Amino acid sequence: MKTKVSGLSWPSFWNVRRPALCLWVVLLIHETTLAQVDLPVLKANSKSVDIQDGDKLLKGGCAIDPAVELDVYDARRSSTGKKVTFITDVDSDLITRSPGAERTDDAYVAMVPEMTDEQKAVLWERMAQAREDALAAWSDGQIVQIFKKYKVRNEFSIDYFGYGYQERYQAWAKSQR
Could you read off the pLDDT of 40-67 as tens digits, one per residue? 677 888 888 888 887 888 888 777 777 7
pLDDT at 15: 55
Q: Average the pLDDT over 130-152 and give the result.
A: 82
CB 104 within 8 A of CB 84: no
Query: Which pLDDT band holds residue 75 (cuts at 50, 70, 90)?
Result: low
CA atoms within a 13 Å half-sphere pointing along the CA-CB vector of 176 = 10
pTM summary value: 0.48
pLDDT at 104: 85
